[in-house]
Every structure is written in C-alpha cells, then in structure tokens.
C-alpha cells in the first residue's frame, strides 16, 4: 500500500471500529476539560478521572479555583504525575482566566497556549473537543502509531501533526485523533504490538518481517 492508501484504509477501518468517540476525560464544561487535559500529561486518563471529581467538587470554575491555595489544589491532585508543577499551573491559569478573559476559556490557540502549563497538544484538545474547531492533537501515543503505520517519518510530534493533517480530511481530525487513541490502547500498545501484530499493522504491511523501532519525540 502507498501512504495515501494506508491513510484511507485506516480512516475507514477506525470509523467502523469506533463509530462513537466519547472524550476519555470526564468534565462538565470547558474549564474542567482544560484542567483535566493539563493533568493528563505524564498521567493516565484513569488516574485523572479519579482525582478531578475531588478537585471539581471544590472548584469547577476559574473564579473559585483562583481563590484556592496552590497547596489545596495540590492536595486534590497529588497522585498525578508532576502534581506540584500542575498545581501552580492550574492556580495561575485560573487567575488569568478571571482577570483577562472574564472567567471564560478562550477559543484560540495563541490565547490558550499563553496560559501556564498549556502546550500545543492541550490547546488542540480544548479547541477540538471543547469548541469543535478542527485540530489534530498529537501525543506520544499517536506519534508512535503514525510511525508504525507508515504515516510519518517525523522525529517529533510537530512534524507528525503536520503529516497527519496533510493525509486526512479536516472534517475527520477531531474524531480521528480519539479513534487512533482508542485503537492504540486496545490493540497496538507499546508492548502488545511491534508493528507486525495488530490488524492495522498486518494489513498495511503484510510482508513486514522486523519490528518497527519508533523515533521518540
């Protein structure tokens, strides 16, 4: 298969396998989504979904969150990776949202990425899943899978995002990035597939003999 043929097959395959794509991080509004995505860095979604009910029971909007202390925020999220750093970021971005954005989450990449602790991937998730704007959030898992499936040679998530956006229609991005995550977690895991074992890998590369060594971002 050529690259475009692989992309077309993957898009069709995942649409059948995952017709519904619920957001894995539990939230009730865009502020909670922003905080949850920030917490998910170097932390599983399962863990995030265990700590956010505790945090959001105390503060589910930036006004209340900005009145909490960093120590109080940390106590709620301490089981997440990088909790001290994330506590400061959540407190800082909450104050900025109150002071600068009328307590609302902005819907632009530049404004989101200017907030403490919010990188391009986090902003992309909020833009796509919170506001419905076309975006293709790429984390280390999608980066790895895109390499295994021959969709990119990118050495970093920036190049991988660019390559995926060029391969897939814009209207598919918001759903597709979740479909890839769901499939990767279930069938093409870091230890469960080396580029030869899952259905997508076998169909895209039926003659592949050696494991694929992916380039870390």
Say how far apart CA 146 and CA 163 lie, in whole Å.
Answer: 9
Q: Give residue 202's pLDDT.
A: 97
Q: Give residue 154's pLDDT.
A: 83
Return the axis-axis angle of helices 45-58 and 30-39, rounded to nearest 10°.
130
Q: Give residue 214's pLDDT.
A: 83
Say how far apart CA 109 and CA 202 lie, in whole Å.
Answer: 37
Check: CATH 2.40.30.270 for 3-20+136-204?
no
Per-domain residue ranges of the chain = 3-20+136-204, 30-130
The residues that are catalytic are 121, 139
Burial 2-11 (b: 16+ CB within 10 A, else e): eeeebbeebb
Yes or no: say if 32 and 52 are a contact pair by the CB < 8 Å rule: yes
Other C-beta atoms within 10 Å of 78: how many? 12
Yes or no: say if 163 and 217 are a contact pair by the CB < 8 Å rule: no
Q: Quick one: 103 exposed, middle or buried, by C-beta within 10 A (0-12, 13-18, 19+)?
A: middle
Show the low-confidence residues of the chain (pLDDT under 50): none
Q: Residues 115-122: contacts with CB within 8 Å, 24+ apart?
A: 115/34, 115/89, 116/88, 116/89, 116/92, 117/38, 117/85, 117/86, 117/88, 117/89, 117/90, 117/92, 117/93, 118/34, 118/38, 118/89, 118/93, 120/158, 121/157, 122/34, 122/37, 122/38, 122/41
Q: Give residue 215's pLDDT.
A: 82
Q: Give residue 121's pLDDT.
A: 96
Q: Give residue 216's pLDDT.
A: 79
Check: CATH 3.30.365.10 for 30-130?
no
Longest alpha-carbon distance in the chain: 59
Q: Give residue 11's pLDDT.
A: 98
């Amino acid at each position: 298969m050529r690259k475009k043929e692989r992309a077309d097959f993957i898009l069709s395959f995942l649409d059948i396998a995952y017709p519904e794509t619920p957001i894995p991080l539990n939230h009730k509004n865009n502020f909670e989504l922003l905080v949850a995505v920030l917490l998910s860095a170097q932390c599983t979604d399962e863990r995030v979904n265990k700590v956010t009910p505790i945090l959001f029971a105390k503060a589910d909007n930036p006004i209340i969150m900005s009145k909490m202390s960093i120590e109080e925020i940390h106590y709620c999220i301490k089981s997440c990776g990088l909790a001290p750093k994330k506590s400061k970021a959540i407190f800082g971005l909450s104050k900025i949202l109150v002071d600068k954005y009328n307590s609302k989450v902005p819907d632009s990449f530049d404004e989101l990425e200017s907030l403490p602790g919010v990188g391009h991937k986090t902003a992309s998730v909020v833009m796509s899943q919170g506001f419905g704007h076309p975006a293709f959030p790429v984390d280390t898992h999608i980066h790895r899978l895109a390499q295994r499936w021959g969709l990119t040679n990118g050495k970093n998530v920036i190049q991988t995002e660019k390559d995926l956006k060029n391969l897939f229609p814009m209207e598919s991005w918001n759903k597709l990035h979740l479909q890839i995550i769901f499939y990767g977690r279930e069938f093409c895991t870091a230890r469960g597939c080396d580029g030869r074992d899952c259905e997508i890998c076998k169909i895209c590369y039926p003659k592949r003999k050696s494991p694929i060594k992916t380039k870390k971002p």
